[in-house]
């Protein structure tokens, strides 16, 4: 069969899609990027907030057309939307032939072939021997080190969808990373709902620092980045490990959600802005030049104007390199749905704009401070925004969520996508910087393309 995939949502969802594609290829099926040619289409959905739910539904309806206008015989829906509306999807969208949740990925082959699916009954967690087809550019890959979550955040429904927290075995992660590096991947992004909790369920103390140290010592190791740190688990051991190994990106993504103690209490997060400022100061003292990214929710139930002003003052004091701001989405499956003091949409939107405007100025100033400096860069290739420039990312810029470094010239000659080199920054904007690629490190010729390392685009 020819099978097409649409993957929506976060990188964790993308890894799930890559695993399902790998299982189907191992069975002998062919992946296609053309929905017109597909015998079966899989939509891996997201439903974290209302816009994500709407996008998932619209995509399912769009792909359903190919059962009428194309050659598709099977339409399979997977992911978080299934966890939420399992019993409604096939009733309300009869073109859908099968559904599978986030913990049933092992049934994807049966669902695409039209056979009887036999879930194991155990929460799914892939490992180094699980087939997987990368869909990212060859130079970088995501590597999921844990699944699920045990935190009680009132705004979040991820634990209901993905289950309790569970870590992959240390050796399994190392083997997969070694395979990826040996096949030409230059940057690995470790992901999980809370990567800083890695190994706790296995009785391992300081699991993430130990894992980072092990990864940095692998043959052919490139950059190593981890995403989504929980603030009260950012230990000194973790920071010291980051500072000691140049392969570990000087970058920490630590969603704080707010700075007001009263709002954080209602979120069941704890702490306050003063505690966070002390942590940020410790991070920057331990890792000179580190980029600190965070995210906030505005308009959370009970957030007063004074709470929001406190958040703005905190952002001004913290001087983050990167900030993401989300407007609260009132989900009837979340604990926060029952809270009083709902903030109206107009107020929430205005607070969103005010906080983004504040951070834009901070980001511009921090980018301007980079001008004249020289920094390591991972060369991406021709820019998607203009044919006149190439683009890349410094260690301070994570894929998709941060700005880019646009390369205006190559003093080093013929650079190739995936090269790691040195860029001299010459100009800065609010979120992006512009520079000259001065040098690239020599590296062995890339190995022959294999099933695991070759990228296959997701259906657009």
DSSP string, 328-366: ----TTSGGGG-S-PPPHHHHHHHHHHHHHHHHHHHHHH
pLDDT score at 119: 78
Q: Are 162 and 50 in contact (CB under 8 A)?
A: no
Measure CA of the first residue to CA of the last residue in the chain; give whole Å.
Answer: 19
CA-based R_g, the chain, Å:
22
CATH topology of domain 374-440: OB fold (Dihydrolipoamide Acetyltransferase, E2P) (2.40.50)
pLDDT score at 25: 97
Q: Diameter of the chain by CA atoms?
A: 62
Examine the pLDDT at 325 and tell me if it is beyond 90.
yes
pTM: 0.93
pLDDT score at 415: 85
Spans of all domains in the chain: 2-113, 140-368, 374-440
> Residue 51 class from Cβ within 10 Å (0-12 exposed, 13-18 middle, 19+ buried)?
exposed
Rounded CA separation 51/345 (Å): 14
Helix/strand/coil for 38? coil
Residue 456 — pLDDT band, cuts 50, 70, 90?
A: very low
Residue 269 — pLDDT band, cuts 50, 70, 90?
A: very high
Rounded CA separation 52/68 (Å): 26
Residue 442 — pLDDT band, cuts 50, 70, 90?
A: low
Examine the pLDDT at 342 and tell me if it is beyond 60.
yes
Q: Give the mean pLDDT of the chain.
A: 92
- CA distances (Å), 339 to each of 175, 330, 335, in order? 45, 10, 8
φ, ψ for residue 133, nearest 5 deg: -115, 115
Q: What is the DSSP string of 88-102?
A: HHHHH-TT--EEE-T
CATH topology of domain 2-113: Rossmann fold (3.40.50)
pLDDT score at 122: 82
Considering the four listed CATH numbers 3.40.50.300, 3.40.50.620, 3.90.1580.10, 3.80.30.20, the one that applies to the domain covering 140-368 is 3.80.30.20
Q: What is the DSSP string of 403-441?
A: --EEEEEETTSS--TT-EEEEEEEEE-SS-EEEEEEEE-
Over the stretch 180-226, which tens digit does the pLDDT of each residue have?
999 999 999 999 999 999 999 999 999 999 999 999 999 999 999 99
Rounded CA separation 424/412 (Å): 12
- Ranges 255-259, 399-403, 418-422, most confident: 255-259
pLDDT score at 161: 87
Question: Which segments of 136-250 are extended strands (E)?
Answer: 140-144, 146-147, 166-167, 187-191, 223-226
pLDDT score at 66: 95
Greater pLDDT, 433 or 447: 433
Q: Are 351 and 308 in contact (CB under 8 A)?
A: yes
């Amino acid at each position: 069969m020819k099978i097409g995939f649409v993957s929506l949502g976060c990188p964790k969802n993308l890894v799930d899609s890559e695993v399902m594609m790998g299982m189907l290829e191992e069975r002998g099926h062919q992946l296609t990027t053309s929905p017109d040619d597909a015998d079966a289409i899989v939509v891996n959905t997201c439903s974290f907030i209302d816009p994500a739910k709407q996008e998932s539904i619209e995509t399912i309806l769009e792909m359903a057309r190919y059962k009428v206008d194309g050659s598709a015989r099977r339409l399979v829906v997977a992911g978080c939307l299934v966890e939420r509306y399992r019993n409604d999807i096939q009733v309300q969208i009869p073109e859908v032939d099968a559904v599978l949740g986030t913990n049933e990925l092992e049934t994807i082959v049966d669902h695409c072939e039209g056979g009887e699916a036999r879930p194991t009954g155990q929460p799914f967690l892939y490992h180094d021997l699980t087939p997987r087809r990368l869909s990212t550019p060859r130079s970088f890959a995501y590597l999921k080190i844990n699944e699920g979550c045990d935190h009680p955040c009132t705004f979040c429904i991820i634990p209901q969808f993905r289950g309790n927290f569970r870590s992959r075995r240390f050796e399994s992660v190392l083997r997969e990373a070694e395979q990826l590096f040996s096949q030409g991947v230059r940057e690995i992004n470790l992901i999980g709902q809370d990567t800083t909790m890695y190994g706790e369920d296995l009785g391992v103390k300081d699991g993430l620092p130990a894992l980072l140290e092990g990864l940095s010592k692998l043959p052919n190791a490139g950059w190593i980045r981890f995403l989504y740190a929980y603030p009260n688990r950012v230990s000194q051991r973790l920071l010291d490990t980051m500072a000691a190994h140049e392969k570990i990106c000087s970058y920490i993504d630590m969603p704080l959600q707010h700075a007001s103690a009263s709002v954080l209490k209602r979120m069941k997060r704890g702490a306050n802005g003063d505690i966070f400022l002390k942590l940020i100061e410790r991070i920057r003292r331990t890792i000179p030049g580190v980029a600190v990214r965070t995210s906030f929710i505005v308009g959370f139930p009970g957030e007063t104007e004074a709470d929001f002003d406190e958040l703005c003052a905190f952002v001004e004091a913290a001087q983050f390199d990167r900030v993401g701001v989300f407007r609260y989405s009132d989900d009837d499956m979340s604990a926060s749905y029952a809270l009083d003091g709902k903030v109206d949409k107009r107020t929430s939107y205005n607070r969103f704009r005010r906080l983004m405007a504040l951070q834009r100025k901070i980001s511009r100033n921090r980018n301007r401070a980079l001008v004249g400096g020289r920094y390591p860069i991972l060369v991406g290739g021709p820019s998607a925004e203009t044919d006149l420039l190439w683009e890349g990312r410094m260690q301070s810029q994570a894929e998709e969520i941060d700005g880019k470094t646009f390369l205006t010239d190559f003093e080093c000659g013929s650079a190739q996508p995936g090269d790691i080199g040195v860029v001299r920054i010459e100009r800065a904007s609010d979120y992006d910087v512009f520079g000259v690629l001065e040098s690239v490190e020599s590296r062995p010729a890339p190995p022959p393309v294999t099933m695991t390392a070759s990228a296959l685009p997701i259906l657009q």
